Amino acid sequence: MVHVLAAETAIDQQMASVSDTLIIAMIFAYAIAMFLFAIEAAYGRREALKGGGLVMAGAGATVGAGAGPGGGTDDIKVNLRTEEPEAKASRHVLGSVALGVTVVGFLLNVAQIATRGLAADRWPWGNMFEFVVAICMCSVAAFLFAAIRYKARYLGTFVLVPVLLLLGVAAKWLYSEAGPVVPALDSYWIAIHVSAAILATGAFMVSGSAAITYLVARRTEFKRAIGERVSGIAAKLPSAELLDRISHRFIVLGFPLWTFGVIAGAIWADEAWGRFWGWDPKEVWSFITWVVYAAYLHARATAGWRGNKATWIGLIGFACLLFNFFGVNYLFSGLHSYA
């Protein structure tokens, strides 16, 4: 009791107020960026495709496992953007501004987390609200990396929509004032286990966004192949092959982090509760998520699965991740009910 009271009196209310203000500012910045990305996606021009021509999907094409929308392997002609490897998105001014505003939002996100930690004098991911905000920060960081490294600005809308939804849920329903953590989280392991989970989730968020975009692009290529007219945002997406690669690379990035997080969590559980594994719902679904992503990587490495088949496995893993995050916390009771 003395320890808890001491922690409560140590709260810097002024810093906590700054942190709360930054939440509104970063949501506003992300919303503007999402709006600008959406405009660029809908109206921005694309450069002419080089090395045009049609290739035979199912006859050595690497656009994905199956030319049809259902993942079959029929030999049909599919338009491929053969530019290497970024599909050459146009330098539309709105996209550049959107990227800049996203950077501003990201910096506000970092500042919000930092001021929250300083206000409470602890690691700032000790409850669901803080965890969501940290996940959004890592998701945006992963997107910015993809935008710079792979010229993947077209993922901006697909990433920022779930980020804004999560932040809205966090601000409306998950918010809690800066304060001490529950005793079980008062450990240096929170900086190890939870940080790994946050970083992995950020990578998986971008992978999931790229996978969903892949399905849209795959369907678009199929429509073009059968002579249907395609317009709107779908017409301006890059090749499905590129989106498949981006999704895969972020799973490759997130999987070892998730693996480390699961192992670190088991070690922490042994220290806190005297056992490595106790069939707690959060433990079970964390492991299920790990198994699905492991199956995804195994299928790509051994069976050579690409495109639709691999994408659906990755999306199942992403669904397990989201259920582990939201569903487990509110549908089951367990030792992780606070996290």
Buried b vs exposed e over 211-231: b needs ≥16 C-beta within 10 Å?
A: bbbbbebbbbbbebbeeeeee
Q: Look at the block and give the residue holding tokens 């450990």.
A: 187
Residue 299 gets the label, from left (phi > 0), alpha (psi -120 to 50) or beta, of alpha
**Nearest residue to 15 via CA among 87, 161, 95, 122:** 122
Which distant-in-sequence residues (6+ apart) come within 8 Å of 210 by Cβ? 146, 152, 155, 158, 243, 244, 246, 247, 250
Element (H, E) at 196: helix 193-225
What does the pLDDT profile of the chain (339 residues) look like in tens digits? Answer: 334 434 444 789 999 999 999 999 999 999 999 999 998 888 765 543 333 333 333 333 444 444 444 444 333 334 444 443 443 444 568 889 999 999 999 999 999 999 999 999 999 998 999 999 999 999 999 999 999 998 899 899 999 999 999 999 999 999 999 988 887 788 899 999 999 999 999 999 999 999 999 999 999 998 888 888 887 788 888 899 999 999 999 999 999 999 999 999 999 999 888 899 989 999 999 999 999 999 999 999 988 888 899 999 999 999 999 999 888 888 877 666 655
Query: What are the helix (H) ranges across 10-127?
Result: 13-43, 93-120
Q: Look at the block and give the residue holding tokens 């998950």.
A: 174
Element (H, E) at 78: strand 76-79
Q: How far apart are CA 156 and CA 144, in angstroms?
A: 9
Task: Give the pLDDT of residue 339.
Answer: 55
Task: Give the pLDDT of residue 116.
Answer: 96
The residues spanned by each domain of the chain are 1-46+89-183, 187-339
Collapsing DSSP to helix, strand or coil, 125 comes out as: coil
Instruction: Answer for the pair 31, 168: CB distance below 8 angstroms, yes or no.
Output: no
- Amino acid at residue number 47: E
Instruction: Answer for the pair 199, 138: CB distance below 8 angstroms, yes or no.
Output: yes
Element (H, E) at 288: helix 281-298
CA–centroid distance for 260 within its chain: 18
- Which residues is 76 bridged to in the sheet? 57
Collapsing DSSP to helix, strand or coil, 306 comes out as: coil
